[in-house]
Structure 1
Amino acid sequence: MMLPSASSSEESEAPQWLQEKVYSPKMERTVRLVKASVDALVQAKQTVSKATVVAKSKELDPEGQGVCASAIKRNADAFAYYEKHRSYKEPQGRRVVPAKESIETDSLRIKPNRDENRARQRYLKLTKEQLVARLIVVENAFAQQQECWNQNNDELLSQLLKEEAEMNEEFDESQIATSDEATQKLIAENKQLKSEKRKWQAEKRKLQDRLLGQESLEAENDGLKQKNAFLMNQLTIATAEQRERDAQQFSKALKASKQDKQVGAAEISDIPF
């Protein structure tokens, strides 16, 4: 079982006013939403996982924000309640079997100025299984990017609150300059993660469209095969009927020829010599 993150130690080291006004209400809100979401999922007999809890919390939250997976992991009470009710629990001593074929996340890095036509041609050469495997990797990478993005947002908020507390307690120019550098760094990382998130979303949409196109081509191919089989059957029937008609005509012609020969022979026998 995974243990929640140790970020609670950082919150305990925060000033008392910051702990009371920011961290405590935030933690209580997370616990309240997680419990309500888990109870709703259990009552509806639905799967209890981090993804379903996050989605349900957005539905139950009047503000529509809900909680993120990282917030559940960092909050000890919320994480314990989630672990108690989650649908899947990994058995002890489970041996993980590696997949036969895997796609490294690094191989999915996309250049901003890449040739989309060449990329499309490359995807057209992939099989359905390869496209599905790549789509799964893209979804996993997107989930990781989303998780990282949420964590950076939380860190940015914490950093901004700490800076505000330091400015209220003591106006030290050197400390403010250092804090500003750290904040700018977090802001830059946040922008980069947003940009990568948009790229992963675009890649995901393209793979989904390609997968739908592959299924459409397979359905069209099956229809053509059925039509071809029907035409071959009709051709076989028409050929058999034509052969039967030819045989009948040949039989009639043969009988007529025999009758003509018999009439000719009779006429010859009647001629006096």
Structure 2
Amino acid sequence: MSQTFNSRKKTKKPWLDNLYLQRKNRTFELGKKSINELIKQGIRVSYRSIAEISKQIDDEKRGIHANSIKSNPDLYKYYQENAPKKEKIKKSLSTSFKSELSATKYNFIKPGRDLNSLRNRYKKFTKNELVEFLINAEEYIAENNNKWVISQFEKYKE
């Protein structure tokens, strides 16, 4: 029979409840003051900036840790209300990659190259970059097939 050891069992310690409540309230009040001070000074509100300015504001000069903002639900909610909203940026093909694609010389590709390094290089591309790369490769193949067919007809005529 196997026994599992769980050192993180939550045991109630009622004698610490009052201390935990005091610390939670201290963190909230100090964090709220720090956020308000950052807004007043026009500084970007972030975990790090809150932690830094809280040390300046705090009478004990201890401040609060950046992670305590996330772990205190009331303070985290206040932080989210006042922090700048992060918008997702839609990725587009970089111009350097587009020019790199157009400048790719498919006729210089060697048949005996290292396929693992090629595979790893392709894995670094985004989906859109791979699509553009594939389209260019197919265009190159189609043009060369056309040239080959024309050259075959010309040889046949002779």
TM-score by length of 2: 0.48
Highest CA radius of gyration, 1 or 2? Answer: 1
Structure number with the higher helix fraction is 1
TM-score, with structure 1 as normaliser: 0.29
